[in-house]
Amino acid sequence: MSGDDEGKAKVTPWEVRGAVDYDELVTRFGTSRLEGPVKDRLIKLAGEDHWMLRRGIFYSHRDLGTILDRQAKGLPWALYTGRGPSGHTHLGHIMPWIFNRWLQERFKVKMYFQLTDDEKFLFMPDLTLEDTNRFARENALDFIALGFKPGDTRIVIDTEYARTMYRLALRAAKRITFSTARAVFGFTNENNIGQIWFTSMQSAPAFLPSFLEGKEVPTLIPAAIDQDAHFRVARDVAPGLGYPKPALLHCKLLPSLLGGDKMSASDPQSSIYTTDPPKVVRKKLMNSFTGGRVSVEEQRRLGADPSICPVFWYQHYLFETDDAKLAEIERRCRSGELLCGEHKLQVLEQVQKWLAAHQAARERARDHVEDYIMKE
């Protein structure tokens, strides 16, 4: 299952192409919809709801129930998520991290954050190991800026925590055949052998808490659905290694400002980066695609279509957490009352306000980043 079945959107950890049908991915990847009793139980145990749950942004899972059972019994578990440091962080990456921070805060569990400088070196032809290692530290600042605390947050930079990671990854790699890697990721003869090995490195932190603590500490991995393939493999090898299978929570992808699919690191105009200065943010948002009509007259008469509008999606996913306010914005878009220019300025103000606070927190994190990074 290489994520690019005939005629369907391609969704792999390295490429998202085509119109993504999230319901179809649940079937194709064999995950479970996050709904009904398991979702209610998550909210109940967390003690509050979250807009990413209410709006179905986190919409799919694997084995969440086993983590919730442990939580209810007071047994340990840990969070694990990550970033491939190929450049600066954009708002799409931030989205699942905000949810991770909420989970950590509600459940008071440890968070393991992997920075795969090895992965991005192997997959990005123009990046050196020095580049990806430098971006790893830059990306770590964004993670820390969201409020993760040093006592319960461990950052793993693959090339720096290599002694431990290598031993865990080796044990996983011994159980993953080339034929599995090729079927899951769609590798061809042109892929370098580091790329083929890499999934064993992304599996390793799923087992790290159990390895370090010498007892069963399963992980819950909240991430966008594009990363699922790695963890299908990790779940398959877990029993053979004597570790619990990791559980997953999947979110949808924050769309591109240019319309269409996932934000793309290869086109900086498609996304807002946490390091973008206000002028650049303004330009990107004002140039954004919208669900508007060709003329003001037509829009007043026919209304706009928020369901295809990245400006509206930014509020839906991140910047308007009040459901009543969001519904009113949607109504005004559809009725033609709210024009795209005015709407863009409204979202711009929300984004700039969030970014100013985040950028300040990000700079403060520079003095503490080393406290989070795991050392041998």
Of the pair 111, 365, the CB lying nearest ligand TYM is at 111
> Which residue from 50, 83, 171, 245 is in contact with ligand TYM, where contact means CB under 6 A?
83
Which residues have CB under 8 Å from 59's CB, separation 6+?
A: 22, 33, 34, 250, 251, 252
Quick count: other Cβ atoms within 10 Å of Cβ 112?
22
Judged by CB under 6 A, does residue 124 bind ligand TYM? no
Q: Is 117 in the site for ligand TYM (CB under 6 A)?
A: no
Residue among 39, 61, 64, 96 that touches ligand TYM (CB under 6 A): 96
**Residues in contact with 161: Cβ distance below 8 Å, sequence separation at least 6, in sequence order:** 373, 374, 375, 376
What string marks each residue from 135 to 174 as x (binds ligand TYM by CB under 6 A) or -? ----------------------------------------
CB of 242 closer than 8 Å to CB of 218: no
By beta-carbon proximity to ligand TYM, the closer residue of 222 and 303 is 222
Of 176-205, binders to ligand TYM (CB under 6 A) are: 202
Nearest residue to ligand TYM, using CB?
A: 84
Beta bridge partners of 250: 60, 223
Residue among 29, 65, 27 nearest 226 (CA): 29
Structure tokens at 119: 């992965």
254 scored as a contact of ligand TYM (CB under 6 A): yes
Single residue of 82, 87, 218, 336 touching ligand TYM by CB under 6 A? 82
Distance CA 83, CA 140 (A): 9
Question: Using CB under 6 A, which of the segments 27-35, 90-98, 128-136, 337-345 binds ligand TYM?
Answer: 90-98
Closest CA to 376 of 78, 156, 202: 156
The binding site for ligand TYM (CB under 6 A) comprises 13, 80-84, 92-93, 95-96, 114, 116, 119, 202, 221, 223-224, 226-227, 253-254, 262-263
